[in-house]
Amino acid sequence: MTSIDNHILSFSEGVSIPQAPPEFKSGFIGIIGRPNVGKSTLMNQLVGQKIAITSPVAQTTRNRLRGIVTTPDAQLIFVDTPGIHKPHHQLGEVLVRNATIAIDSVDVVLFVVDGTVACGAGDRFIADLLINSKTPVIAGINKIDQQPANPQNINESYQQMADAHQWPTVKFSAMTGAELPQLQTLLIENLDHGPFYYPPDLVTDQPERFIMGELIREQILLLTREEVPHSVAIAIDKVEETPAITRVMATIHVERDSQKGILIGKGGSMLKAIGSAAREQIQKLISGKVYLELFVKVQPKWRHSRVRLAELGYRVEE
Ligand code: GDP
Ligand code: MG
């Protein structure tokens, strides 16, 4: 595993982007789908490194995150999007709006569905969004490593949807990597000739601080339940690098005192567990020793405030 740190450093130091050969293909691929179908898992598997956080809890991914795959013949830039669903509050609206923008601003849409359950209302909601756009669509049926009880019905439900719009389909497992080379070939076939958009060794466009925050949020999603996860936002306050250790100070913003209580836990046990698990992940990210200090702060109703969303680093697109 290579360190994202190095890639980002070399990028900011202005390593030149090579001239693409004439037959080189490149473009942006939007990974679209309802929550929990495996979009982030897919992106991590394709780029060969964990840049997007994943979890069994829906709505894990908030910001748009790009994952970059460069082969001798092509550069594919994957845009991970939040799962699309009907909005309930300000953050939900931002999520859907950003996903809609993502559909229109990419060269190809990879519409990911969960092959262990039949096509449902959530998938059809997205299919309707997609037919309003001119972007070509490929339907990707994920989780083929899991054998469902009634594969015939499930297959037919997705085939019907794909046939109705003449979308090519491809089946794979984001988790095991099975059939992903085939997916990649099909995606490259659907791209036009183009330049290198990023240096060939870069795997993501996001700064390391952002990914650190996401790794902390991931542990909160994994270790706490229900109430807390959707109302946290992480701010990385300070990163101090010394040759021996990297010190990271971060604040976890929550909406209510009760959530703060859950996050801190009995005698600080929960915060300690979150901190030590996140610290291990961040150590892998930067390939070095990390000291992580976490604070918890109550920030009432941050989800409803666009200003707060922007302050906490969420892109609120107009
Ligand atoms: P997203 O919300 O679409 O980004 O979904 P995630 O990538 O966060 O994945 C949601 C859940 O599905 C996680 O628990 C993953 O481990 C699981 N998952 C993703 N891809 C696969 C797969 O190919 N097979 C199986 N069995 N589970 C998967
Ligand atoms: Mg995701």
pLDDT tens, residue by residue, 257-296:
999 999 999 999 999 999 999 999 898 877 789 999 999 9
Which ligand is the nearest neighbour of the Cα of 85? 1
Ligand 1 atom nearest to 59, measured from its CA = 2
174 CA: nearest ligand 1 atom: 23
| Burial grade of 128 (CB within 10 A; 0-12, 13-18, 19 or more) | exposed
242 and 274 fall within a common domain: yes
Count other C-beta atoms under 10 Å from residue 285's C-beta.
21
Q: If you average pLDDT over residues 118-147, what whole number do you get?
A: 92
At 222, which helix (H) or strand (E)? helix 208-223
Cα-to-chain-centroid distance, residue 40: 4
Residues 156 and 228 in one domain: no
CA distance 13 to 141: 40
Residue range 45-60: mean pLDDT, rounded = 71
The span from the CA of 200 to the CA of 37, in Å, is 29
**Which pLDDT band holds residue 16 (cuts at 50, 70, 90)?**
low
Residue 76 sits in the same domain as residue 135: yes
CA–centroid distance, 111 to ligand 1, in Å, is 14
How many folded domains does the chain comprise?
A: 2
28-32, 70-74, 198-202: least confidently modelled range: 198-202
Q: Whose CA is nearest to atom 12 of ligand 1?
A: 38
Among 189, 221, 246, residue at a domain's last position: 189
pLDDT tens digits for range 87-109 = 555 656 766 676 677 788 899 99
> Same structural domain for residues 245 and 171?
no
pLDDT at 317 (0 to 100): 47
C-alpha 222/C-alpha 215 separation (Å) is 11
Least confident of 24-38, 60-74, 164-178: 60-74
Closest ligand by atom to 33 CA: 1
* Chain segment 288-311, per-residue pLDDT in tens: 899 999 999 998 776 666 555 655
How far from 253 is each of 22, 206, 223, 268, 278, CA to CA, in Å?
Answer: 49, 21, 16, 16, 16
As a whole number of angstroms, the distance between CA 158 and CA 84 comes to 18
Q: Tell me if 239 sits within 8 A of 246, measured CB to CB.
A: yes
Which CATH number do you get for residue 26?
3.40.50.300
Question: Which tokens go with 169?
Answer: 């389909």
- Quick check: is 41 in a domain? yes
Q: Which domain holds residue 249?
A: 208-311
- The answer to whether 26 touches 76, Cβ cutoff 8 Å, is yes
Q: Are residues 171 and 223 in the same domain?
A: no
Q: 117 and 56 in one domain? A: yes
CB 198 within 8 A of CB 17: yes
Q: Does residue 11 surpass a pLDDT of 50?
A: no
Q: Is residue 202 part of a domain?
A: no
Same structural domain for residues 180 and 59?
Answer: yes
Model pTM?
0.72
Do 144 and 286 reside in the same domain of the chain? no
In a domain, 200, yes or no: no
pLDDT at 7: 38
Residue 318 inside a domain? The answer is no
Q: What is the pLDDT of residue 309?
A: 60
With bands split at pLDDT 50, 70 and 90, how would you rate the model's confidence at 184?
very high
In one letter, which amino acid is 34?
A: R
Residue 129 lies in a domain: yes
How many other C-beta atoms can be found within 10 angstroms of the C-beta atom of residue 138?
A: 20
In DSSP terms, 30 is beta-bridged to 79, 109
Looking at the structure, tell me whether residues 132 and 230 fall in a common domain: no
The finding on whether 81 has its CB within 6 A of some atom of ligand 1 is no
For residue 38 and ligand 1, the question of a CB distance below 6 A is answered with yes
Q: Whose CA is nearest to atom 2 of ligand 1?
A: 36
Mean pLDDT of 99-124: 90
- Establish if 55 belongs to a structural domain: yes
Q: Count CA atoms closer than 13 A to 229's CA, side-chain side.
A: 19
The preferred substitution site among 40, 42, 54 for testing ligand 1, maximizing ligand atoms within 8 Å of CB, is 54
264 and 161 in one domain?
Answer: no
Measured in whole angstroms, how far is the alpha carbon of residue 142 from the centre of its chain? Answer: 16
255 pLDDT band (50/70/90 cuts)? confident
- Are 100 and 156 found together in one domain? yes
Residue 194 lies in a domain: no
Closest CA to 6 of 196, 282, 285: 285
Residues 279 and 131 in one domain: no
Expressed in angstroms, the distance from the first to the final Cα of the chain is: 37
Residue with tokens 């010394």: 242
Dist. CA 212 → ligand 2 center (Å): 16
Whether 86 is in a domain gets the answer: yes
Question: What CATH number is given to the structural domain containing 304?
Answer: 3.30.300.20
